[in-house]
Amino acid sequence: MPTPLIHHVGLSVRDIEKSANWYTDLFGLALAAEVEEPAPMKILMTPRGQAIDLRQDPAVEPGEFSQERVGLDHLAFVCADRAELDSWLEVLSTHGVENSGIVESPFGLHVNFRDPDQIALEFYLPAGPPA
């Protein structure tokens, strides 16, 4: 049986309006649905049907995100080629989003950045197959 694809990711945020605006502006996502109960949630959708669910739950611990806690370390968005990675780097710059620039590792090329709640995000171009 094949490994299932990831359809969506749910992120807890402190200010749902601020985060929704940030994600829709940066990625060009569309608001697909809004829910108020049991906690405010906005479902943002890509043209390919993937979703980022933002939830502002009053029970969430205050403070910024840290990948040093059990749970999410970071969320990576794969790029098809170097031109796409370069384009996203330009989008980040245009939106004033602080980022690492392009960083090379044995796994490929990465551009690391953070959302308004300091959730670690990454644009990633995998290295080619081993020679």
User: What count of residues does the chain have?
Assistant: 131
Residue in the block written with tokens 């392009």: 102
Please write the tens of the pLDDT for every residue from 88-131: 999 999 999 999 999 999 999 999 999 999 999 999 999 975 44
Does residue 3 carry a pLDDT above 90?
A: no
DSSP state of 90: H
59-63 contacts, C-beta under 8 A, 24 or more apart:
60/12, 60/14, 62/14
Calculate what percentage of the chain has a pLDDT beyond 70.
98
C-alpha 113/C-alpha 121 separation (Å) is 5
φ, ψ for residue 98, nearest 5 deg = -60, 140
From 122, 121, 115, 123, select the one nearest 16 (Cα to Cα).
Answer: 115
Per the prediction, the chain carries an average pLDDT of 90
Return the structure tokens found at 48: 């390919």
Domains of the chain: 1-58 (3.10.180.10), 72-131 (3.10.180.10)
